[in-house]
Each structure stands twice: as C-alpha cells, then as structure tokens.
Amino acid sequence: MNAAVRATVRVGIYTGAKVYFVHEGYQGLVDGGDNIKPATWESVSMMLQLGGTVIGSARCMDFKEKWGRLKAACNLVKLGITNLCVIGGDGSLTGANQFRTEWSELLADLIKQGKITAEEAKRSSHLNIVGMVGSIDNDFCGTDMTIGTDSALHRIIEVVDAITTTSFVMPDCVCMRVRVCVCVHLCAHVSVRACVCINIAVCPHSYLALVTALACGADWVFIPEMPPEDNWEEHLCKRLIAQRERGSRLNVIIMAEGAQDRKQKPITCDQVKNLVSKKLGFDTRSTILGHVQRGGTPSAFDRILGSRMGVEAVMALLEATPETPACVVSLSGNMAIRLPLMECVQVTKDVTVAMAEGRFEDAVNLRGKSFQNNWNTYKMFFFLLSWSDIWATCNINIAIVNVGAPCAGMNAAVRSAVRAGLIQGHQMLAIHDGFDGLANGQIEPITWAQVGGWTGKGGSNLGTKRNLPGKNIEQISLNIAKFNIHSLIIIGGFEAYLGGLELVTAREKYEELCIPMVVIPATVSNNVPGSDFSIGADTALNTITMTCDRIKQSAAGTKRRVFIIETMGGYCGYLATMAGLSSGADAAYIYEEPFHIHDLELNVVHLIEKMKTSVKRGLILRNSNANDNYTTQFLYNLYSEEGKGTFDCRMNILGHMQQGGTPTPFDRNFGTKMGAKSVLWLTDKLKECYRHGRIFANTPDSACVLGMKRRSLIFQPLTSLKEDTDFEHRIPKTEWWLKLRPILKILARYEAVEIDTSEVAAMEHIIKKTGEIKGGKI
C-alpha cells in the first residue's frame, strides 16, 4: 500500500495537483482536522520497504451513516478536494462509489444546514473517484493481482519451506490452515508431522490457498469455489499412501477457509487431520501462522504494482469528467487497465452467490482468467481418477534439458513438465549438463518421485551449461535417434533460444532433428525474445531489492551518502530498471537507453540538490553492460569527485548472489504453469506430426518459444522471432518495460519527463469478459 501512496503523492505533485493524506481511512475523512493533511514529496520518502500503510486504516461505522458522509463531504469541500483515491477492498470501494453517487445530494444538504456556501458547492460540484485494490486475498474480480497478495504469498511460502525441512528428520504430515481474520486479511493454521494439512482461509475466496498448493507442491487443496467430489476421503487417503510409496517423507494438504463438500457441508482442518491420523496412522501437527502473513517487507512485485497503480490512478483522476463512472485501476497480465468499479464489485459478489447456489464452475469462471489458469494447472496434477493412469504409457519419449546459466524456478518447470508428461502417458527423459549432455549421451529416464520437492529448490538439478549445439550437432542428432527422443523441452535463457534456432536450422541436414521443440525462457536477465517475463527474473529482482534496502539502511546514521550498485542482466536493463522502481533509485543506467556525460552531470546535480532536503541518501543502479566506457568504477569515481563536500560514495557489485536463493512464489507458480503447458502443447503437436508410423516435424510452428505476452501465454515459432532479436547484444528489439522508465524518473523528482501515452489504459468492461448473470447462469 505504501508504494501506491508514494506514487500517488509524487505523480500528483508532479502534475501540479495539491495532494492530501487522509489518515485512519474513512474515519479520518469523517473526523477531519489533523486527519487530513497536505502531503509533501519528502513525506513519502523511505516508505517503499515498509509493510502496512503509514497513513493508517480503520473500520468506520460512521461513514455507513448519512450524517457521517455529510461530515466527510463538508471536510472535503472546505479543503477544495474534488478527487479521491481509495485503496482498499470491495467494501471500501463500494462505500466510495456510494459517496460519489450521492455527492450532489450531500452538497445540497450542507448548503441548507449553512455549513458551506453556494460558491463552495459550485467549486466542488462533482467528486471523482478512483480505486486501487489493496487486499492480500486477491479476491477482487477484474484484476490478476491485488496489492499485497504477492507479499502474503512470500510469507506463507517461507513458513511452508521451513516446515517441510522437518521431513528430513522424520516423516511428517503437516496440516496448514491459512485463514483470514476480522479484517479481510489472512492468518494461517499449520499442522506439521507425518502429514501437513495447511488450512488457508481466504475469506472465503481461495487464491492464496490455490497458488500456495502449486508453489509448494501440495498433495491436496480444498477450496470453496470447487469442492472435491463425493467420497473425497477415500481419494485423499489413496493419494497420501501413493505418495509415501513413491518415497515422499512429507505430505502437505492445503485448506481454504470456507472449504466445503459438494453438499455444502463444511470441511474443517480438524476433520481432515483426524481422518489422516486415524485412518492412515500418520502423525499430524498443526501450526498457526496468524498475522505474519499480513506484515513484513513488501515484495518487489507488490512495490512495482503499487507504484504503477498509483500512477495510473492519478492519470484516471486527471482525465475524469462528471460523466465518467468511478473506476478501479487494475492489472491484466503486465498491462495496467481501468475497469468500472461497481461492475467489479458486482462480479465479486456474484462469486459468493454462485458458491451458495452450488454453481461451482460458474464461481471459478467468475474469478477470472488468472484463477482459472491456476485451477486448471492444479487439476492436471491432482485430480486423477486412478493413480494407475500415470503408468498407462504410450511409446512417446519427451526429453528435458536445461541450457545457459542456472536460475531459481528452473527445477519447478522441470518437475511440472515431468509430472505432466507422465500423466499424459509419456516417458520422460532427463538430459544432464545442457547440450553437452545431449551430445555425450547423458540421458536417462526420470520418474514422478525423482522430482519430488524440486519446486522450492534453486539452481538446476539437471545441471546446465552455456555451450550451444554447434560443433556437436551431428552427435546430438545421433543420440536423439539412439534414445528415441520424439520431442524436446529446452529450459533456459538466451542460449536456449539460440540453441533451439541452431537445431531448427540443422533440420535440413539431419532428419532426426525434425521433432517438436519448445523453449521455456528461464533466466535472471529476462532477455529471451517472445516473452515479457522469464522464470528466475522475479527471484533475482527480489534479491536486488532486499539488498538495496539493507544498503540504504546502512546510511541511516551517517546520511549524505550515495550508493552505486551494479546489477546483472548483460545488455538487458530489465533488472536495473525494475529494481530501481522497487527500491526507489535516483537513476538506473541501462544499455537500451543511451546516456552521455551531460546526463551524468544532471544526475550529479540532482543528488547535490537532494542532499539539501530531509532525504540525504542516494541510490544509483547500473546494468552490467550499460556502457563500455562509463563503467561502474567510472561512475563511482565521478560521483565521488563531484560530490566532495556534499556527499560521499560507496560502490557495490552484487554479482552471482542474484542467481541463487530459493525461488519466489511467482517463479514457482510461473515455472509450474509453463512446464505443464509445454507438455500439453507437445502432446497435441506430436499427434499432428505423426505420419506413416513415425514423428516428422519440419514446419516453423513445430519449434516454438512459450512466453507471456501482454495478457496470455502463447507459443511463437522460433524462426519468426529472429526479426525481433538483437543477436549482437542478446536482447529483444522491443521490450515492454522500457515504457515504465519515465515513472522511475518522475518518482525520483526529475523535471520535464515525457510519458509514453501510446497505450493509455482505456475503460474496459468486466461483465463482457465473464458473461452476464441471468437467471442464475452465466
């Protein structure tokens, strides 16, 4: 929330508006006085890393009464406030819309009561409202992610990871319950031992429970939107036994608050715990997480999301007219969008109605595309009618190889692909040590049990190298024939993309390479053409962000200090730019945006002026290959010399720490979905390419990159992406995140910054996406 507050204040001031803080939510609006104070640029400094909200929030019964709204309206009119930005859940946003709807009536009543003049009423003739959804439950329909959800997932996964380590000491079953308390936020009950039953209550929507199940590889999840089939107790016990027989030392069960069966009878954490303990004899424990999930340092994703939403909210208010409906700014894929507020609120309420009426498919559809994709991925792995189905194999062999530098999330993608392939009836083959391993015959079958627990492991368990097929192409073709490989999944960075292109090119000479192939982008650099995001980039971004927080904090006592920090990424400036947004940097130097000595001079002057304010710290980021001459050492020397007597400098090169660590929830979930989707695509492609008793694929669309583009996961032929590739610098020619760089400069208080408005967020209608509700049906 603080990132959204910071962005709203600074962009508002940048556009010439006068911005006010309303402390303690609607209660502050009603009480007025010192609760409504002008906001300054410096007042929102050093708050990005803080959890919660620095301006406070409170439940307000007074605002539900008309007399309370009259007082609130009077306070706004006296201060000349005609634009209101509300950050909260559907209740808060519904209240804001009601306030706006009856604004004219409230002004008329205030004039009658003599509390405002007709002139004051005329100056405040209409009230514009824009909403940002701040809720860890991600239960607001119309947005892929709400502010706070990713941070809550970080807290949950940290606890789950800590609990699962107990399984290395003794076999455990853990029952975890993550539940929402009085305020729409989330607490958790976690049971540990022979079975882990994690009850995640999400009031009563289940995004956190579902994504946690995918991210930690849970054995079962109960969510109210889609209750288990009848006789679920028997299926659950069979699953847990099967997992133990495959060598698993730990079982994890996730439960959402409000979990129920098909007859809408509640399923409780204790019920599941007793079932497992008595019927299977597994030792079961539970742990209560409590409000841990609400607090803590916000993740990089939430900071960037809050910042982008804050900017978009100000733009929406400035463009609003009296006829413009109240809107909520939202995220769809990687795009900021605007949606009619009350449409979103209505569809959100329709989810609850659909569940109450037993229309569970409708409930899942109403929850949106993101929820549907997560649910479909979960179903693939966990809703098998018979566990023997896994071994109903055909004669198809799919091989998986990791290529390039290792990154967090690679193992999650491998695990997902292996298990999805086995479910489809294929034999899965693991290739060790990249293309070198494929050339040297380091190929072996990989089983369901072998990839158990891989979701939370960093690096590459298969081993990976940067070498391309190149000179080994003939040996690779021979081994593809020798091991009877029918399709290939290549998981990696730019080397994976180049390697895939080399294999496709070599099809003309080696018929054995005429098999379907898919490249899954996995690199901290996020520089693979055909995808807006790469597996591993989110983990690296969080590592950089948290490191920058600590580095900035180190100057809390000394002050007047500027830090020059070098990030990874090669020629791609994604990490430097996004880390600049999430850590509040003063500048981020990247290759894609050339800079010269004049730009460096402006940055130095900017920092000298900044030191005259109450904020006496500076942060400069530089991408590793930003410029051959203006190196990190050069920047350090320049800033040190020019800042003499005003500030001193420190230099940090973060290095390979950015490639390590356990994957973030985003990378685990993203890797899981990418791995599963690649196998389903290959399965369909193999059917298309099966001719005369053998596989033969030589069309461009038989070798693709699977990537996230704007709002969807799509497959694009490798050869079609060549035109959009800068091969010399190993980056795509078009990069979506470059349009966010003006936001970085505005938030750092640079003047005369031009914002790219070629993709202004237009108002969209959520009802058209989800379908109208008529007669209880979609």
Residue 346 sits at φ, ψ, to 5 deg, of -65, -45
Cβ contacts of residue 29 below 8 Å, gap of 6+? 22, 35, 36, 60, 63, 72, 75, 76
Are 603 and 620 spatial neighbours (Cβ–Cβ below 8 Å)? yes
Catalytic residue positions, numbered: 137
Give the bridge partners for 662, in sequence order. none
First-residue to last-residue Cα distance in the chain: 34
Report how far residue 50's alpha carbon sits from residue 58's, in angstroms, rounded to the nearest whole number: 18
Neighbour tally for 193: CB within 10 Å: 25
User: Quick check: bond before 224 cis, omega within 30?
Assistant: no
Sheet holding 617-623, edge to edge: 587-589, 617-623, 561-567, 648-653
Q: What is the DSSP letter of 278?
A: I
Euclidean distance between CA atoms 609 and 646, whole angstroms? 10
Radius of gyration of the chain (CA): 27
| Sequential DSSP letters for 517-536 | EEEEEB-TT---TT-S--BT
DSSP 5: H
> What does each C-alpha distance from 395 to 239, 323, 426, 428 come to in angstroms?
26, 63, 7, 11
Gap between the Cα atoms of 486 and 473, Å rounded: 17
- Tell me, letter by letter, the H, E, C secondary structure of 682-714: HHHHHHHHEECCEECCCCHHHEEEEEEECCEEE
Residue 65's DSSP bridge partners are none
Q: CA-CA distance, 581 to 2, in Å (whole number)?
A: 13
Q: Tokens representing 329?
A: 């700014």
Q: Give CA–CA dist 303/289, Å, rounded.
A: 23
Give the sign of the dihedral formed by CA 568, CA 211, CA 382, CA 173.
positive
CA distances (Å), origin 555, targets 104, 546, 552, 563, 653: 51, 15, 6, 9, 17
CA–CA gap between residue 703 and residue 499 (Å, rounded): 11
State the Cα angle at 645 between 642 and 651, rounded to 5°: 60
The Cβ-side half-sphere exposure at 713, using a 13 Å CA radius, reads 20
To the nearest 10°, the Cα dihedral for 495, 500, 502, 508? Answer: 180
- Please say whether the dihedral angle defined by the alpha carbons of residues 603, 50, 159 and 228, taken in this order, is positive or negative: negative
